[in-house]
A and B are shown apart, each in its own frame.
Chain A
Amino acid sequence: MPSDGAGDPVGQATQATQATKVDPADPVNSVGQVNHVLEFPGGYTRSVGPVIGRFLTELRDARLVGVRTAGGRVLVPPTEYDPADGAPVTGEYVEVGPAGTVETWSWVPRPRPGHPLTRPFAWALIRLDGADTALLHAVDLGEIDPGCAPPPTLTTGLRVRPKWRAERIGGIGDIECFRPDVTMITDPGRAEYRLRPGRALGRFLDGIAEGRFLGHRCHVCGKVYVPMKGMCPADGVPTTEEVEVADTGTITTYAVNNIPDPRAPEVPFVSAYILLDGADIAMVALVAGIPADQVRMGMRVKAVWRPREEWGPTMQNIRWFAPTGEPDVPFDAIRDYL
């Protein structure tokens, strides 16, 4: 096993000497100092012996094995001796994993050049299923911006599995990293509709394009619907009698919204039921031009139109409704519209 603590325990063998390079970002580069690099050509060669050799050979074949001690424990990564008492291990190799459990971890928010991953990751002690000891390796938790805190999914007890390199050489770096079990997938969904306003709403929007509010009067109940639907929802009859109503009205009730919405200029914004003068049903619209905490039930308002040259058959023609400054309407006059 590589023992250079500051370095790269899981890098490919060819990368093992990088730890001795001086990090260009290190302050040792400050004026007046000179970098002096010691890099043994080709890297040190190490005889791994029979036990670690077996481990590395199995790694090259994408298998994980441990060695059993005389006491029955399975050591992963294996050693030639039982670290508890110094006794030789048995010759029994046990396949473990490939899944394992994170026993503890340390977060690396900004990986350094010698690190096995370029995006934030965790060093973790991973106890592979069937092993009695833990293996140090990197855990990749997906796309995470540099400097970010660890995701809440990173916990002791997290289940992880190795990501094997396609080309293996018999080194701990044959495992690129460990990754959590798949617990979620994303499922894109998109529906596209072609909409037409229909005859009634189309006529209403034609009116809006001319700066007018049009509605229908029901011939049964006499109520005026703005916008019209071409039918009366209360009487279930078609409506055809067109009426024009004012662009002034009264706020019957409203909500002060503290949840941002792309259609509102700011938070808080007021969405209000506005009973246009001449209509019998209130419509919901934005109220602005007054602080939200000064809006009142019964307040008189008027549509604020965008410049005429911007008008089209759309409610976008109306920026919002703003107070007219007239006295409020008494509650009794609006209570039947709530």
Chain B
Amino acid sequence: MLVMEDQLVYTPKDFKSSNEVRWCPGCGDHAIMAAIQKAMAGLGKKHEDYAVISGIGCSSRFPYYMSTYGFHTIHGRAAAIASGVKCANPELSVWQISGDGDALAIGGNHFIHTIRRNIDLNLILFNNKIYGLTKGQYSPTTDRGFVTKTSPFGTIEDPFIPGQLVLGSRGTFFARAIDNNVKLCQEVCEEAAKHEGTSVVEVLQNCVIFNEGVHAEISNPKTRADNQLHLVHGKPMLFGKENEKGIVWEHGHLKVVELGKDGYTIDDIMIHDAHEPSRAVHMALINMSLPEFPVAMGVIRAVKTDVYDEMMVKQIENVQAESKIKNMDDLLNSGDTWVVE
């Protein structure tokens, strides 16, 4: 921590706790934590302005490793507990850390309702498409047909696409990042923190032990330029090693085109509008998948609307202002009162 002109300046190191980090060597969680610590250091808040809430799972060990307030709580319930923290103390910057099992299986109910209420918290969803802590059973994001300990012949269930759930729950912020791009993780976490309302960041995370290489096609340094589309608000949707490819909207659908081919020019390429209230294009971007499309990364949706905890405080203030009851004596003398003689 540096003191510059009477102001505290935090570094990512200030957000590291003294606890030994017990994730497996090579686990994607290490990089995501580094990104979040960098993001927090840059937001100008103090340690004690943050509360990090987790449920149960490998990623849920997160609070132990952070030099902030933190609760390691109940499987699936982190969203409800984080909501309680934020409503009880709206001053805190509340961050929920959950895995795909914690947030979307047992916690699916709380996940959608927290987003629907638009409580101002940042929900970082570590998606490795497996239950890691219980050693390798399929999760609600595991692709159909995938072999795990509880699906030795392939799952017969279709997975959730987390962004679809967020939009279906009237979500106001959704971003996607990947664990081997710390800079991107940091950027989207900063944007999530700045957004007022529930911000969901899906981080594609590699589980080296039980699901090694699950996102390899997306993360591979050799192919990622072609397989990832980095969205920036107000910028054209270009991708490829030389930015030679782009996304156009044709006949109500997204389409991948090459610049200079079939008559497509930069003017045809869609400009990303993260602030567009309509969900149609954002949903289409969330749905893009390999091999037909690159996978959309960055802030896909960031729409400002009313925030629950602000409205709650305002409503209490309004009711208090309009009420004739200003103190305990007013209350005791209100309603049906009589004198005992």
Partners in one complex: no
Q: Interface residues, chain A, CB within 8 Å of chain B?
A: none
